[in-house]
Chains A and B, each alone.
Chain A
Amino acid sequence: MDELERTLDSVDPFWDEDAGPIFPAEAMRLLEGVPDVEQALLRVATDEEEPLARRFAAVEALFQGGWTSWRSGPEGAEVARVMADAIRADGIHNRWGLPDHYVSRSGNDLLSIQEGVEAALTPLLDDDKLLTIHGGETATVAHDEGYTVGDLARYLLAQRA
């Protein structure tokens, strides 16, 4: 396993407890030392042979590092699909946003991709898995409303309309 993979695997990308960026400063410094880091991360993110956790960690690293020139390119659609799969797999959904209320960090990241977002989110519309939203009043509203992955997909798609 190379340095890049070790760094990506050093965090649990599906447990973002404060909805903030998931890599600590030290991990970002290591990534900055990787030659042509954007392409290296993009290769991991779009490689179907890689586990979803590592692919999504690579996506998170791309946004956290500001390595985002690919968003208007052909890889955008595949990255959007990885992010949509990550919504289904996520342990805490605050980073995506709260349906009917606001879009959060990763939700905005996903929406910033130029092509393929609609195609990635549409299959989630029928997913009735409950979102796990943490917080005080925020968690209360989410629990009372019974928001699902499908509701989140609908809300994100509405922002693109």
Chain B
Amino acid sequence: MRERRREPHPEQPAAEKRVPAPVLSNRAVARSLAAQAAPAGRGLRPHAAIARLASPRRAIARTATKIETYGTFSIDNYDPVDSDKDNDTNKSCGINIDVTYTPPPHIKSNKIGFVQMMKCLKGDGTPLLFENEKARATDAASGDEGWAVDRLKNMKQGYYGMEDNGTAGGNLKLGSRTDKDTAVDATMHDRISLGRQTGKTAGCTAMTFAIDIEHGKYLGGFCWGYSVDASGKVTGNPLVAGEMGDVQRAAIKAWNAQAKNKDRTKRNAPDQQLLPEDRPLGDFNIDPNAKTYA
């Protein structure tokens, strides 16, 4: 494969210097945002802390958005994608995101990555699914149809951005934690882009979960995405901490069902691998963020 030539999309500003944000979060802002963007059944955690933190240098450098959950997500370059900005035309719309995940201090893992699932909508309000996703999308019986694990066709791993041999691809850096003072952040890059038709709405909701791949345990997660209104304006969804709900568990089960499909042509890849099924946080001996949820 040839050398990557990642460039910012036209609406994305040039790389900005990242300013560290304080650890403590603004819980009032968190509750307000969570209350706005917590559709039923999607496993959102309304009391998790989230805040776009003020910084004295904000005028010259944008801060990352911090999401404190089971570990900490830092979100950068969360910028709408719009191939014909604000115009009411057939066009490509979406959102760019860079995610950095710092694992909580009390876990140990040699391999931390991400599992991501999405539900995207066409202009008529029905789920927008590509062929390789239809075979693993949730149905109405799961509580919300159209959610599917986001993976490139022909890739056997369910972990976002992972190569078939288990190493990180270009949009992923695997993390780890060996003790409370020694950790490597996991990072990922995504840039959703989907069609939007003249005069129609469109949008996509995504949920990204960090996962301890070594032990098959899901860590924290958050919700993001975008919407396009009928005039063609693209707006990023609020960033909200999220727990895995029944629908997301169903999407993982559906991925695993696809991996077991006897007709290999209907799998994402002929040797598609299983994803760990979710275990609740109670499986961990210690939940260092328990007070945050209270």
Contact = CB atoms under 8 A, between A and B. Distances in A.
B58 interface: no
A160 interface: no
A94 B130 CA distance: 9
Given A17-B194, A92-B195, A145-B5, A137 B151 contact: yes
A140 B153 CA distance: 13
B46 interface: no
Given A15-B197, A141-B171, A101 B2 contact: no
Given A101-B153, A104-B131, A144-B6, A137 B160 contact: yes
Contact of A139 (B116, B131, B161, B192): B192
Interface stretch (A2-10, A60-68, A128-136): A128-136
B190 A134 contact: no
A136 B4 contact: no
Contact of A134 (B90, B153, B171, B195): B195
Contacts of B150: 135-137
For A102, A133, A140, A145, the residue with the greatest tally of chain B CB atoms inside 10 Å of its CB is: A140
Interface residues of A, number: 29
Interface string B124-154: 0000111100000000000000000011111
A101 B163 CA distance: 12
Contacts of A94: 130
B195 A136 contact: no
B189 interface: yes
Interface in B95-142: 116, 118, 122, 128-131
A135 B116 CA distance: 13
Interface string A131-155: 0111111111101111000000000
B160 to A, nearest CB: 6
B90 A91 contact: yes
Classify chain B: how many residues form its interface, as a range. Answer: 35 or more
Contact of A15 (B4, B90, B191): B90
A18 B153 contact: no
A18 B190 contact: no
A20 interface: yes
B129 A136 contact: no
Contacts of B250: none
Contacts of A143: 9, 191, 193
B10 to A, nearest CB: 11
Interface in B176-205: 189-195, 197, 204
B94 interface: yes
B192 A18 contact: no
A108 to B, nearest CB: 11
Given A101-B152, A101-B153, A145-B2, A140 B131 contact: no
A146 B152 contact: no
A134 B194 contact: yes
A146 B2 CA distance: 10
Contacts of B152: 98, 101, 137-138, 141
A19 B170 CA distance: 25
A18 B5 contact: no
Contact of A18 (B2, B129, B160): B129
Contacts of A137: 116, 150-152, 160-161, 171, 190
A91 B91 CA distance: 8
Contact of B170 (A92, A144, A146): A144
Nearest to A19: B130
Nearest to B83: A132
Q: Which 8 A-B pairs have the closest CB atoms?
A: A17-B195, A136-B150, A139-B193, A140-B191, A102-B154, A144-B6, A134-B194, A137-B152
